[in-house]
Chains A and B, each alone.
Chain A
């Protein structure tokens, strides 16, 4: 079965082929052809991922490394010992990501065919989407940090292109879109700067960028403390296994980054040399992981770099679903889970990670309370859920983070696609109304005023869009963490793990994360139910909402499929101790699957009390939300009831203003930067450098020097000399051209004359004798 690993390059190549076909023939293929190619490419990649999954299961989870054909040795400097191959890694972690990216991606591609129908740049959209898939798959399948970085930058590029996809919309909307695209790109630069520094330091420290060299087994974790506590594990067996694997691995020559780190950590006292100074290896690890964390905060939208993600909703909704909810933004989490050996080793980093994640989760959850835009709510929800995942990494619950990543991909993609369906419907309804009223010239103006994404313009869509409503409801329940939907299991595992980190390991960040996340879970249920109420319940508040049609089959089917997974996806990792389900679906299936590649993945027991509290909080928040946003309020929703209530109006204003994050950034970073740039441009560049150095010092003196060289030297001497040569030449030519008469006889004369001349030359000695010379 390992031969099937050789297929892994296809997972990247197939979307690239689809992209190339659409790039060159997109205009000619038409919408159907383009859609077929793009969805086919995505589905093809999914098929390959499934084959790899089966192969992995059948080889007893043996990880494999496959070199890209033709690109095998990518960067190779033998003299410097640099060897970074273009190598794919097939293990449980990468296959998980592949399945999520291609599976959810294929559904979203399918949905987008319906959503983008009629767009004038339809082929280009799918070129971008396929390109994104290719880069995302490079990111998750690469066997070294540099390939991950390539994918990382590539998905950033695609994100930029797709956020600004409608850069040419009328009346400033286009500007807003392209501004959002630039914001995303520039903010990500900061994170990527951290990531590349981290990669370079990794290379300096380890001399390689490979996660594991081909054929290398991950060294087992050091469960000195944990092994004793975990009752089901057999410590003797594990210790034996560890020794065996270690001996096996250490004799295999150079080690990959993670195993090398494990070996050095165990030996202790290793130093990293920086010429004159050397640093403790452990401290070095902290620096590297913090830099990686900076990259993750950029890509995965954490404090302080999350500000780009809400603006990124300017892109088409499928893009929001695929890139800014399900896949790309989870790259940071994936990267940290991939580097779990390093993160596990650094307590300081773990603390920072957990705090950042938990703070982000509650902060974004709070902001989501005050948003009117349907997609903004979901965006902040995404930031919040990403915070959950990051916090999980921080408390060492790598499996839980991945688990939440997978379930979140399903239900958040579902919610985004559902919101897209709603927007689509409202927009169509608006068009319908405009047409019915026959407004000719007013149409453009009113279209600008009418915002199909504003929840105040919706209401009562439950009846108009039944499929959308029911699937949306499933997604909402999953996100809110209601048992037995997918979100419950993953969220519960994160909460359990953080609490355990606090109780068992006495780690402060465990308590912090637990408290904040539990609160954030309540916020989640609240703002989601607020949204569902505003969109689907009550009566239609505009004519557009009244005439909104259900979306087409191409858009509904992906919703149904994703809805199904939102319900059942959690069952793949039923915690131990849960009755009935555990025996049906197996306990900790997903965690034990991940354990094959994520060294520090571990499972948590089910905690009845905790789960009950969490579900109660969620249910309570739902009822609370429904009671506030009741049908009476919904009938005339110009102001939010929280805003109307004097006790909570300031809080709502704070949430509505997004906690003034953007303003703060502008005030303390952007404006000072602009002032500095102005100063540099005006004073330094223009006044000093241009006006003084260039104009006065160089230009004027140069002019003076050239004046001297031009007038007397060049014009006086050189020009006169060459002009006289030219004059002589012209004069001589003017004389000589009379030789060319055009008459045959003169040419014949020249021939005879020339012949005589030659004869004279030949006979010269004879003639000399004749003349007696």
Chain B
């Protein structure tokens, strides 16, 4: 389907470009070019660039081409004056030859798959730490030798931080502000590129455990949905399932989530009254439910549920859920996406381009200003006819010349 569309619209684009090239009348050329620009706007849509498509239509096909048409009409320059003899007879065949060579080389190169499609490697990953250790004092967490979290209290979470991609040989938990090592992770921690990684500190039978999970923060196509992800930190170390038990639904979202595992993100449609239920694997007995009263199920966001339990004074265990909500990235190519980048990473180029536009505006005004041209013509005329007698020395009254010296 897409391919068919591409071929049809591509053919139209090439045909209109060629027509623009060969039509004698400049107005016709401009109209063909507008159609061509429309095709390109269509391609932008197909390439998930709705913003660009919009701009293409309004600015290019609209404003710029109107300007062209206006100038053509203004100057009455639909056609050139009667053809003079061709000045460079060799130019046309040579140009066509060059064009053919270009086309052959590029198409052969492209069709043989010479375009390098390997994705560039991400060098940054985002990391955050969650503390679910209810009975200990606040902690500092070191990833490798560098501190990633300091003075982290129970149920507290750090923000996402940018860390260099790589394998970190150790993770150390120390008492806040001190050197007492509470826990040392005995396996290396891998940070993979472009991912949002959650490090969860959970209590285990023999002290502290680290659970790592990868959160999916990419844009959700359906704006009415959210993404749910769970981490199993129950101390009995049994596997669990998660169900969507909202009204009118009974759907298994996450199946067989083992202890210390993190699930994948699951997209769930959001409605007013939401309820999620956690059961031991294979059982329907709900051990924990989360509903709209407990927390806010927001659209277009990612919800991370860290499922743990804590020991009560009577030695019974109470199940606890720590919910972490984070914004997902806007969907690819949307105006929001483009705008976000434009005002963050590309602010300086944006300003510079604005300046260029301003200068161009002033330049256009100066260049087309009526009096400028007239003044230039006057200067030309004056230089062409120098005042009479300037080449003769003017000394006093020519009729009565001043004598010099004795």
Contact = CB atoms under 8 A, between A and B. Distances in A.
A749 B91 contact: yes
B88 A753 contact: no
B94 interface: yes
Contacts of A745: 88, 91
A759 B105 contact: yes
Nearest to B106: A759
B110 to A, nearest CB: 10
Interface in A631-658: none
Nearest to B109: A766
B109 A752 contact: no
B95 A749 contact: yes
Interface in A362-388: none
B295 interface: no
Contact of B112 (A743, A749, A770): A770
Interface in B83-137: 87-88, 91, 94-95, 98, 101-102, 105, 108-109, 112, 114
A767 B95 CA distance: 21
B91 A746 contact: yes
Contact of A760 (B94, B95, B105, B108): B105
A159 to B, nearest CB: 37
Contacts of B101: 756
A770 B88 contact: no
A752 B98 contact: yes
Interface string A736-773: 00000101011001001100100110010011001000
B114 A766 contact: yes
Contacts of A743: 87-88
B219 to A, nearest CB: 35
Interface in A12-64: none
A749 B98 CA distance: 9
Contacts of B102: 756, 759
Contact of A749 (B94, B105, B114): B94
A743 B87 CA distance: 10
Interface string B383-395: 0000000000000
A753 B90 CA distance: 14
Nearest to B104: A770
A763 B88 contact: no
Contacts of B87: 743
B194 to A, nearest CB: 29
A763 B109 contact: yes
Contacts of B91: 745-746, 749
Nearest to B102: A756
Interface string A285-308: 000000000000000000000000
B105 A763 contact: yes
B105 A767 contact: yes
Nearest to A765: B114
Interface string B237-265: 00000000000000000000000000000
Given A763-B109, A770-B108, A752 B88 contact: no
Contacts of A753: 98
A770 B114 CA distance: 11
A280 to B, nearest CB: 73
Interface residues of B, number: 13
A756 B87 CA distance: 24
A745 B94 CA distance: 12
B112 A746 contact: no
A767 B94 CA distance: 21
A746 B88 contact: yes
A743 B86 CA distance: 13
Interface string B44-82: 000000000000000000000000000000000000000
A758 B80 CA distance: 35
B256 to A, nearest CB: 50
A770 B95 CA distance: 23
A212 B95 CA distance: 99
B130 to A, nearest CB: 50
A753 B101 CA distance: 11
B106 to A, nearest CB: 8
Contacts of A752: 95, 98
Contact of B98 (A756, A763, A770): A756
B103 to A, nearest CB: 11
A766 B114 CA distance: 8
A709 B164 CA distance: 76
Contacts of A749: 91, 94-95, 98
A740 B347 CA distance: 42
B114 to A, nearest CB: 5
Contacts of A759: 102, 105
Interface in B136-158: none
B88 to A, nearest CB: 6
Contacts of B94: 749
A752 B95 CA distance: 9
Contacts of B105: 759-760, 763, 767
Contacts of A741: 88
Contacts of A767: 105, 109
Contacts of B109: 763, 766-767, 770
Nearest to B114: A766
B109 to A, nearest CB: 5
A756 B109 CA distance: 14
A521 B98 CA distance: 120
Contacts of A763: 105, 109, 114
Interface string A72-101: 000000000000000000000000000000
Contacts of B112: 766, 770
A754 to B, nearest CB: 11
Contacts of B114: 763, 766
A79 to B, nearest CB: 63
Contacts of A766: 109, 112, 114
Nearest to A752: B98
A626 to B, nearest CB: 55
Contacts of B108: 770
A756 B98 CA distance: 8
A759 B107 CA distance: 13
A745 B91 CA distance: 9
A768 to B, nearest CB: 12
A668 B108 CA distance: 112
A428 B270 CA distance: 129
B45 to A, nearest CB: 30
A473 B171 CA distance: 124
Nearest to B101: A756
A692 B101 CA distance: 81
A248 B112 CA distance: 111
Contacts of B98: 749, 752-753, 756
A749 B108 CA distance: 23
A7 B91 CA distance: 92
B344 to A, nearest CB: 33
A7 to B, nearest CB: 53
Nearest to B108: A770
Nearest to A755: B102
A764 to B, nearest CB: 11
A344 to B, nearest CB: 67
A766 B102 CA distance: 14
A420 B328 CA distance: 115
A759 B94 CA distance: 18
A613 to B, nearest CB: 68
25 contacts: A741-B88, A745-B88, A746-B88, A746-B91, A749-B91, A749-B94, A749-B95, A749-B98, A752-B95, A752-B98, A753-B98, A756-B101, A756-B102, A759-B102, A759-B105, A760-B105, A763-B109, A766-B109, A766-B112, A766-B114, A767-B105, A767-B109, A770-B108, A770-B109, A770-B112
Given A745-B91, A766-B114, 4 more contacts: A741-B88, A746-B91, A756-B102, A770-B108
Interface of A: 741, 743, 745-746, 749, 752-753, 756, 759-760, 763, 766-767, 770
**Which 3 pairs between the two chains have the least Cβ-Cβ distance?**
A766-B114, A766-B109, A770-B108
Interface of B: 87-88, 91, 94-95, 98, 101-102, 105, 108-109, 112, 114
